[in-house]
Structure 1
Amino acid sequence: MDNIAGTKSSLSWAVNISVVLLVVAWLIPTVGLLVSSFRDRDQISASGWWLSPFPVEQNYSVKAPLDDLVVDGDLNTITGNVFGEGSGTVVRFGGRRAAPTEFAAGETADLRRDRTLLVEADGSFVYSSPAEIKREPSIYFSAESPPDFSMGNYETIMASDNMDRAFINTLTVTIPATIIPILIAAFAAYALAWMDFKGRGFLIAMVVGLLVVPLQLALVPLLTLHNQVGIGQSFLGIWMAHTGFGLPLAIYLLRNYMVGLPRDIIESAKVDGATDFQVFTKIVLPLSFPALASFAIFQFLWTWNDLLVAKVFLPSNSESWVMTVKIADDLLGSRGGDWGILAAAAFISIAVPLIVFFTMQRYLVRGLLAGSVK
């Protein structure tokens, strides 16, 4: 009875479990990224996001100030507190960078040249030396820090210079780079699907072949061509680059969708005297809206999140930076090790694509319903 329409399959439980596992697999990294966006770099380095509600043990180093030096006969002593005017709990301490947690709190440590160091759990310390202390000695210790969540990472990103300019530049690149490929691909897909001409099969094969061309392989030749025609490293150049990289997928997707449209409707329109342009604009284009919306979502997400093409085809000055370049070059630097900034930037940059996705999703459903009734 499993193969009869309208009956429930006995393997539905397997499908449900698979869906739940896929949702969890995608949700866990997203939750981790969200939690990390509210933590600072030190706490992220000290513990994983799943331990964020618990105190974090971190290593610190401070200088014992010579202003607190007391000379009593042959003994030179510096007293103070490693937390300054703050508070905390010292777990372990040490007098060398190579062994910052060599001794337990409350234990007297014997250092080199007959020096001693005592650090209590509340942070108070006593540093003693029989010889004259000419420079401030370093004290290394490990202390427990309470969980710290703040909007500092988001404030750093939003308050950075020219971030509003980078947002506008991103829209300037993304919107035309999404519309232009759709316009060109829609005409090309109709011609390859419903117009009979010589070489059509070869062109279809070429489109399929271009799908496997690596993006990195075409960057240098394309930039050289752009420089020769005078559009190198400009907004026009990056529009053309994104158009060229997006056209193969757009034509392939739209052509396959248009081929599946009802032939009777198109042939009836041509019998009634409609031209190919009228058939395309009045019949094929409205019925193809779901495919157009799908590609628009893919292309918008690709161009919005793009870093490589933007760095190659846009000028290197900060006035032309898009958000990905601004975050990578200005906020993160060459190493990109500030995971808190990176996590917050991910959620800031994903806001607009999410709005576009849910907006186009609504129109996608509307297009499906409109195309289902003649």
Structure 2
Amino acid sequence: MTTLAEPRTAGAVERGIAGRVIDRIGSGVIQVFLILVALFWLIPTLGLLVVSLRSETANNSSGWWSLFAKPAELTFRNYSNLLASGFGSSFWNTVLITVPATALVIGFAAMAAYAFAWIEFPGRDTVFLIVVALLVVPVQIALIPIAKLYGAIGIFGSILSVVLFHVAFGLPFAIFLLRNFFAGIPRELLEAARMDGAPEWRIFATVVFPLAKPAIASLGIFQFLWVWNDLLVALVFADTDNQPMTKALQSQMRQFGTNVDILAPGAFLSLIIPLVLFFAFQRYFVQGLLAGSVK
């Protein structure tokens, strides 16, 4: 009795043993290569950590890789000396500047982007074009006028002045990024919420904002890194009592020059927080970068 063979699925390709072996080897080689690249990328960070844990004499006499032969050289004395020199207050000043500047930019930009994307009002497109045009305004061109303004209203040199400057210059890019993401949300979701009687603020809070987590995470990482690593704005607007870590490190370099036992632990402390933040939110960061690329 003759049996008919089952028809193959259209587009299916039967791979032999050799093909499957090549696939396994290829994926394994790629994974090994990516791991090696990641380790190579982390070598400077590891070197900075080791230098920050060695005495000045040990750093001047040999390279950081000699730690593997003399692990007893490690000490936390550099960090205690750094904190005793007042660097701890600079660390908290950086936190007090970066966190509000990031949160305010995300909050204001999200509301403005929702209005530009889904609310009809006179001159909407014109105002959005003005916001986009502000992206090309360099920071340096506004330093002197804003410094005079801060001096006139009495906030020059304070943490508030640095935060307001970062918020002002962070909003155009944030609005542009989030508006393009919000515009890709299906209109049917918003129309369904409006038919249920939900006001615009509730649609924004319960429908749009949760869907925008990847884009908001990407924006938060960009804004956090920009403010955390900023030196120019801090040099102009922050005085000695309110200086962030970047300005504190710059002053230490100017005073001591080769004082590695102070500069290395300070540089590592300024590096480790953004590094931890990136690895903690890298999943959302990648999703935010790819958002809208596939329809």
TM-score under structure 1 length normalisation: 0.61
Paired position in structure 2 for 1:39:
54
* Matching residue's letter, 1:349: S
Equivalent residues of 1:332, 1:342 under 8 A apart = yes
Superposed displacement of residue 190, structure 1 = 0.6
Query: 2:243 is matched with which residue: 301, 321, 327?
Result: 321
Q: Residue 234 of structure 1 corresponds to which residue in structure 2?
A: 158
Give the direction of change, closer, same or farther, for the CA distance of 1:336–1:244 in structure 2 (3 Å limit): farther
Larger gyration radius, structure 1 or structure 2: 1
Deviation at 1:46, TM superposition (A): 4.5
1:53–1:147 Cα contact (<8 Å) kept: no
- 8 Å CA contact 2:54–2:261 kept in 1: the answer is yes
Q: Which one of 337, 341, 364 corresponds to residue 258 of structure 2?
A: 337
C-alpha separation between the residues in 1 aligned to 2:224 and 2:242? 19
Q: Which residue is 2:198 aligned to?
A: 274
SS in 2 for 1:333: helix
Q: How does 1:1-12 map to 2 (within 5 A)?
A: 12=27
Match of 1:224 in 2: 148
Query: Does the alignment pair 1:149 with 2:164?
Result: no
Within 2, Cα distance between the matches of 1:186 and 1:351?
A: 28
Distance 1:4 1:187, change over 3 A: farther
1:338–1:209 distance in 2 versus 1, CA, 3 Å: farther
- RMSD (CA atoms): 3.5
Q: Is the 8 A contact 1:328 1:336 kept in 2?
A: no
Higher relative contact order (CA 8 A, sep 6+): 2
Structure 2 spans left out of the alignment, 5+ residues: 1-10, 289-295
Structure 1 runs not aligned, ≥5 long:
56-145, 369-374
State the Cα distance separating 1:157 from its structure 2 match. 0.8
Q: Displacement, 1:286?
A: 1.9
Deviation per residue, 1:216-246 (Å, 9 max, x gap): 3332232223223433222221111010121
Assess if the C-alpha contact under 8 Å between 2:93 and 2:159 holds in 1. Answer: no
| 1:192 aligned partner, one-letter code | F
| 1:17 Cα deviation from its structure 2 partner | 5.7
Counterpart secondary structure, 1:211? helix
**For residues 14 and 213 of structure 1, what CA distance do their matches in structure 2 show?**
45
Question: After TM superposition, which residue ranges in structure 1, 4 or more long, deviate above 6 angstroms?
Answer: none
The 2-side partners of 1:14 and 1:256 are apart by: 38
Cα distance in 1, alignment partners of residues 88 and 279 from structure 2? 24
Residue-by-residue CA offset, 1:239-285 (whole Å, 9 max, x unaligned): 11010121122112211221222221012222333332232122111
